[in-house]
């Protein structure tokens, strides 16, 4: 790393944070920027006023802040000409939302510091030069092997599935043992026992990246399955796969084989606390919210559609089985142009399909950027963030939507005793969010520290969430900006304006940037964003040639895992006694996602980590957490499960009226992010939620900025059987590949009234007509 350091130590630097300035010394090492602040002089000069260390001759301890280079999210260098009254400065924005301005007495030192930071952050040349590959643990952490916490076979055995156990309708397939079948899937695949590996291999051709429907959770009481996959390869010709249809059908009927299992292997014998079937059959009516009631009505309304033919009743047909497509409908239909799309439900008779309005990675990245814009002056000003910009970010709306979708899934599995299959596009972003959060609501085990570790390992790491692409561990040169002081304000980026100059120019540039982004990436705006996209930034030579898999593509970064942790925080805050871990555990986990001190989150999938021998060459982040377990343990935790006692139930659900800013993660106070504390209003909201009297509670003055006015994320339903065509209905002409795309998009009602309920007949795409007593629902169409 020595070749990348232009300077290793800089004295007499002024650092500004939260409006407070202090003099420090900078030390630049191979993996950290160390900010050393000497102790402040005592207010008095008398001997009695001196610190104990001074009186005894002991050395005075200095204050050190270690900043890991991957934690630098954005760096701006502002050089000044000789003789300028202003000091050359470097402004840093951290991925942990800490902000620093460093003012230098010497421009040459400032420039060398900037170049060193740039070289050590985005010009490493290989992911194997990150700190994780040289970090050595100490003390208690050294004695713990964090890689041993998650054992796939042990977790599936906990859920009742093992090679030597009773057949519960599922088996563990080793067909992906060498990752040749599906490189982004885990080596061990839980699949229906009734489906052979040969059938599965054929079915894989119908799913993006061969990410077939596989089990991710089996309910220990009612044996209902939560499965996940990627989008189907239907295309504009509405292609089908008999093998895929058989596999999905088997996922929805696997538990038909276990009628006698509970007498042999009772749920109570498993690790996960269980309740009786009667206990979870129906929720407490006093706790059903308007949103839940509305969504249940929508699901029920799709069951009342007349079907073309009467078929014998089979297991699963009486359940409200769901295929959950997490995408906005327009995105799902638009993907047909690329040969993908969504299920044609006449071929999947055992389920309905629910569309969720969860936006793509580009929308989420833009949302966080607006949050950053609202808090961007945190280094130079102690003032609170711009709450208007916070509201415009849409961040709270997105978190609420994700929680709503996960709660819908949890209700279907835990209360409606139904099976659910989840997918988005490739099934590694929104699918992981929904799958993991719904399991948090369903299973108390995942709310323990060990269980949460298992959940992250299983549903995020082993199922191939692209941590490296989404997090951008090797940074990017476009995030290191040099500004010309002579044109102050003309090159200022979001978060770069410290003295109020150039606000109008900054806003104009941002508006123009958004306009040209929409113009230049129109295909991207329509297409679903889980697909790997081509980086549109100018191609320039990099100091060390990076393997293509290691290159950070700014267009592929997105705070997907951050949103999962934020949603988990909401559940923890609303159910403070039901989680073994505390808020700091989540915040610290987000920090170590980006610190690259541990190998846990490196690379994009299990195969890549195995190929890189990450377990042998790096430490696991779980060793860190387990070695400091008391620091991350919730003192209010109550692990007792009793469905007859309020507050001790097995299942938990979010209060969508009470989603607030996770202020700690943004280094702000609750009042700064969420507004003044209003105990009277909060008591009223709590009483209203408990009574569930059907009144729509409007946002109060204590509501966080950006709280959504529409509470449901459910965007529409398609029946799982062919529908009888109305008098105005027509049959799609076979052989016309554009007909299904045309009819599907036409059925979305773009440009018409936004309500999905109506009096029109079912359209050609098979979208269920949701008339009756259902309320009109607004459908959000994201074009980015």
**Residues annotated as catalytic (active site), given as ranges:** 424
State both tokens at 208.
Answer: 């993006």
> Are the C-beta atoms of 660 and 573 separated by less than 8 Å?
yes
**Alpha carbons 7 and 641: distance in angstroms, whole number:** 58
Residue 655 has phi, psi (to 5 degrees) of -95, 105
State both tokens at 305.
Answer: 């559609």
Binding positions for substrate: 360-361, 424-430
**Alpha carbons 413 and 224: distance in angstroms, whole number:** 6
Alpha helices in 28-178 (DSSP H): 52-56, 107-122, 139-142, 152-158
Binding positions: 360-361, 424-430
**Alpha carbons 28 and 565: distance in angstroms, whole number:** 31
Query: How far, CA to CA in Å, does 658 sit from each of 328, 348, 397?
Result: 24, 37, 12
State both tokens at 78.
Answer: 């502002």
State both tokens at 174.
Answer: 């080793």
Three-state secondary-structure class, residue 94? strand
**Alpha carbons 716 and 757: distance in angstroms, whole number:** 9
The CB-side HSE value for 759 (13 A sphere, CA atoms) comes to 0
**Alpha carbons 658 and 405: distance in angstroms, whole number:** 16
Which distant-in-sequence residues (6+ apart) come within 8 Å of 7 by Cβ? 28, 109, 112, 113, 116
H or E segment and range at residue 741 = helix 739-746
Query: How far, CA to CA in Å, does 398 sit from each of 35, 393, 579, 631?
Result: 36, 9, 23, 30
Task: Give the chain's count of helices (H) and strands (E).
Answer: 26, 16
Mutual angle of helices 395-414 and 560-574, in 10-degree steps = 70
What's the N-to-C CA distance of the chain in angstroms?
A: 40
Burial call 131-159: b when 16+ CB within 10 Å, e when fewer: bbbeeebeeebeebebbebbebeebbbbb
> Are the C-beta atoms of 80 and 87 separated by less than 8 Å?
yes
H or E segment and range at residue 66 = strand 63-68
Nearest residue to 199 (alpha-carbon basis) of 155, 164, 244, 160: 244
Residue 102 β-bridge partners: 15, 90
The helix, strand and coil proportions of the chain, stated in percent and rounded to the nearest 5, come to 40, 10, 50
């Amino acid at each position: 790393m020595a070749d990348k350091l232009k300077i290793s130590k800089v004295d007499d630097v002024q650092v500004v944070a939260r409006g407070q300035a202090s003099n420090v010394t900078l030390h630049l090492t191979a993996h950290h920027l160390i900010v050393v602040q000497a102790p402040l002089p005592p207010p008095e000069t008398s001997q009695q006023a001196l610190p104990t260390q001074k009186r005894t001759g002991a050395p005075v301890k200095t204050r050190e802040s270690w900043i890991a280079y991957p934690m630098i999210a954005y760096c701006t260098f502002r050089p000044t000409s000789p003789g300028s009254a202003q000091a050359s400065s470097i402004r840093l924005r951290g991925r942990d939302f800490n902000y620093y301005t460093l003012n230098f007495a010497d421009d040459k030192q400032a420039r060398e510091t900037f170049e060193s930071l740039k070289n050590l952050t985005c010009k490493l040349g290989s992911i194997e030069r990150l700190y994780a590959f040289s970090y050595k643990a100490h003390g208690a952490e050294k004695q713990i092997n964090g890689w041993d916490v998650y054992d796939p076979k042990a977790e599936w055995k906990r859920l009742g599935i093992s090679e030597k156990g009773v057949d519960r309708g599922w088996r563990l397939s080793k067909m992906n043992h060498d990752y040749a079948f599906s490189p982004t899937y885990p080596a061990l695949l839980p699949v229906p026992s009734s489906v052979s590996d040969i059938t599965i291999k054929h079915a894989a051709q119908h799913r993006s990246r061969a990410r077939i429907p596989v089990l991710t959770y089996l309910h220990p009481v009612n044996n209902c399955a939560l499965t996940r996959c990627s989008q189907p390869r239907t295309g504009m010709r509405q292609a089908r796969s008999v093998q895929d249809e058989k596999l999905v059908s088997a996922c929805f009927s696997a538990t038909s084989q276990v009628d006698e299992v509970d007498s042999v292997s009772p749920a109570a014998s498993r690790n996960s606390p269980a309740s009786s079937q009667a206990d979870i059959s129906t929720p407490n009516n006093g706790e059903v919210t308007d949103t839940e009631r509305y969504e249940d009505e929508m699901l029920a309304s799709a069951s009342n559609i007349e079907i073309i033919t009467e078929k014998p009743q089979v297991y699963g047909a009486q359940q409200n089985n769901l295929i959950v497509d997490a995408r906005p409908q327009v995105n799902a239909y638009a993907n047909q142009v690329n040969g993908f799309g969504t299920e044609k439900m006449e071929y999947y008779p055992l389920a309905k399909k629910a569309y969720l309005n969860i936006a793509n990675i580009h929308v989420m990245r833009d949302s966080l950027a607006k949050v950053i814009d609202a808090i961007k002056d945190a280094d130079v000003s102690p003032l609170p963030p711009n709450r208007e910009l916070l509201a415009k970010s849409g961040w709270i709306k997105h978190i609420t939507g994700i929680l709503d979708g996960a709660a819908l899934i949890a209700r279907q599995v835990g209360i409606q005793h139904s099976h659910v299959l989840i997918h988005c596009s490739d099934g590694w972003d929104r699918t992981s969010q929904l799958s993991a959060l719904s399991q948090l609501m369903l299973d108390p085990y995942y709310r323990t520290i060990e269980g949460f570790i298992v959940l992250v390992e299983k549903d995020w790491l082993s199922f191939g969430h692209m941590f490296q692409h989404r997090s951008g561990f090797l940074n990017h040169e476009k995030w290191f900006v040099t500004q010309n002081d002579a044109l102050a304000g003309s090159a200022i980026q979001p978060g770069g304006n410290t003295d109020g100059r150039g606000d109008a120019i900054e806003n104009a540039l941002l508006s123009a940037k958004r306009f040209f982004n929409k113009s230049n990436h129109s295909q991207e705006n329509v297409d679903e964003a889980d697909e790997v996209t081509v980086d549109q930034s100018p191609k320039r030579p990099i100091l060390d040639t990076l393997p293509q898999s290691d290159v950070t593509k700014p267009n592929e970064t997105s705070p997907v895992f951050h949103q999962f942790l934020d949603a988990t925080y909401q559940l923890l805050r609303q159910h403070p006694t039901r989680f073994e871990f505390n808020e700091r555990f989540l915040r610290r986990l987000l920090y170590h996602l980006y610190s690259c001190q541990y190998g846990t989150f490196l690379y994009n999938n299990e195969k890549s980590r195995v190929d890189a021998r990450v377990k042998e060459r790096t430490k696991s982040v779980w060793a860190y957490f387990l070695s400091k377990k008391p620091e991350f343990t919730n003192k209010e935790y109550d692990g007792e499960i009793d469905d007859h006692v309020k507050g001790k139930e097995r299942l938990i659900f979010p209060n969508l009226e009470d989603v607030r800013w996770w202020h700690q993660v943004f280094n702000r106070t609750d009042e700064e992010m969420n507004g003044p504390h209003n105990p009277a209003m909060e008591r009223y909201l709590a009483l209203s939620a408990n009574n569930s009297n059907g009144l729509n509670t409007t946002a109060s003055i204590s509501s966080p900025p950006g709280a959504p006015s529409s509470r449901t994320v459910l965007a529409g339903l398609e029946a799982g059987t062919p529908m009888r065509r109305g008098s105005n209905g027509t049959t799609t002409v076979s052989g016309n590949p554009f007909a299904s795309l045309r009819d599907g998009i036409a059925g979305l009602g773009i440009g018409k009234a936004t309500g999905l309920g109506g009096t029109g007949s079912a359209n050609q795409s098979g979208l269920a007509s949701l008339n009756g007593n259902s309320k009109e629902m607004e459908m959000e169409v994201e074009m980015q």
